[in-house]
Amino acid sequence: MRIALVAPLVFPIGPPFAGGAQVVVYDLARGLTERGHDVTLFAARGSVVPGVKVVQVEVDYHALQPAIFLADNPANVGTLADAYFLSADAFRRVFLEVAATQPRFDVVHAHAFDYPAYTLAAFANTPAIHTLHLPAVSPEINRSLAALQRDTAAYNPTSRPHLVTVSQACAATWQAAGVGIDGVIYNGVDGSIAYNATPDRDGHLLFVGRIAPEKGAATAIRVARALGRRLLLLGAIYDQGYYEREVAPLLGDGVEHRGAVAREEVYAEMGMATALLFPIAWEEPFGLVAAEALMAGTPVVAYVRGALPELIEDGHTGYLVPPNDEAAFIQATHNAASLDRAVCRAEAERRFSLEAMIEAHEAMYGEFKVESAPLAFHLCVSLLHPSRQINILLGDYAGFAVGRGGERDPRVVDHDVGVVGDLLGDLGHLVDEGDGGDEILERILLLQLPRR
């Protein structure tokens, strides 16, 4: 199959990895390519995936800041609004290129948690799948995805974008927000991670993850201090304010923050640690580092939040602790050394193999591989933008917005959303007659309609 993968644009794809979504996209691209699929990855400038064709998206990813889910000011949850237009420009270019590529892609699979990615994917004129790597944390995106599903289903049910996510717990958050989920595919872990039956003698502990409030690095430090254990923290700083207030003052005296490091180093450290600490403060959508630690044979101690009960078998591959019960977390960490590391490895191989993840994606692509939807449907999708600023793709023969002589169609000045239905009807006749249906990507016109 010819597969277009669209990565989140907030970081390049490649080591050292900024987060779990970047790891999954990297492994998925390589795994599908190794199985003989023709994969093209659209990703931020600087992305490198050996053996995979990478289209570098020219965007200032530093300006596309990652979402900060537990910011001090709840009104500032995420930075989606600040970077909206920058990301919209980038994703528009991506999906136009997907649509223009010949021979056509069989499917486009996007992994970005960005409103423009969900709506502009319709411009690709290709069956679209979106993996939701995050729970339903953004009311704006929740409403937009629910509206996208509802409205596109009304125009053409077979062309509704398909939404999948990474755990049953994550799926439940979306369903509670009114967003339908088409499937769940667990993230996979490379079975080449070395299994270590015997951790280091000093019994040190490990924290792996972004340095942000929702991951609980400060809690991990307090747990290690209470037990008198050495603690290593691996992960990039996402929230500088949190790091400076809660983490940096606690470093030293057996607590080291090494930052983002290569995956091989992460895996080696996992194998040597007595336990991985995962004191999350949010509804974790999956917890890739937990699955990776189990593959290395290392038990995981975590708060019972999000998908962790789907990953950890309490008392066998780790311990699940009531949220915010730090005393119980300390005791569970103390007990983790007695768990059978071989059981951890066996469960990871059985439930979270990379091969199983790739096979599940192949099956999903085969299910959703259909003929491209009529062009009129893709134009209707563009009506969903709440500002009513409507991007409309036109071809040589779609002469309704700009007449064949280059003059603007007089109906456009009516400033009424209802006029768009008439215009789409005109275009539908052209497509049905086969007149220009394959030449739809020659230019974009921006049609401004007022708010109602």
The predicted-structure confidence for 185-234, as pLDDT tens digits, reads as follows: 999 999 889 999 899 888 899 999 999 999 999 999 999 999 999 999 99
Closest CA to 273 of 226, 212, 203: 203
Confidence of residue 82 (pLDDT cuts 50, 70, 90): low
Question: Residue 443: pLDDT above 70?
Answer: no
Average the pLDDT over 32-58 and give the result: 96
Residue 410 has pLDDT above 90, yes or no: no
Least confident of 71-75, 255-259, 350-354, 408-412: 408-412
Domains and CATH numbers, the chain: 2-188+359-368 (3.40.50.2000), 205-352 (3.40.50.2000), 375-448 (no CATH)
Q: Which residues pair with 391 in a beta bridge?
A: 446
Among residues 236, 281, 218, the alpha carbon closest in space to that of 70 is found at 281
Of 5-9, 94-98, 304-308, 402-406, where does mean pLDDT reach its minimum?
A: 402-406
Average pLDDT, the chain: 81
| Chain-centroid distance, C-alpha 72 | 24
- Residue 271 reports pLDDT greater than 60: yes
pLDDT in tens, 15-43: 988 888 999 999 999 999 999 999 999 99
Residue 451: CB atoms within 10 Å: 7
For the cut 50, the answer to whether the pLDDT of residue 272 exceeds it is yes
Q: Give, to the nearest 10 degrees, the angle between helix 20-34 and helix 354-368.
A: 70
Q: How do residues 113-162 score in pLDDT, each as one tens digit?
A: 988 899 888 778 888 999 999 999 989 899 989 998 888 777 766 667 89
Compute the average pLDDT of residues 384-392.
Answer: 34
Return d(Cα 180, Cα 174) in angstroms, integer.
Answer: 7
Distance (Å, whole) CA 208 – CA 291: 12
Nearest partner of 66 among 301, 297, 238, judged by Cα: 238
- With cut-offs at 50, 70 and 90, classify the pLDDT of residue 65: low
Report the C-alpha dihedral over residues 92, 94, 97, 98, rounded to 10 degrees: -110
Overall pTM surpassing 0.95 (yes/no) = no
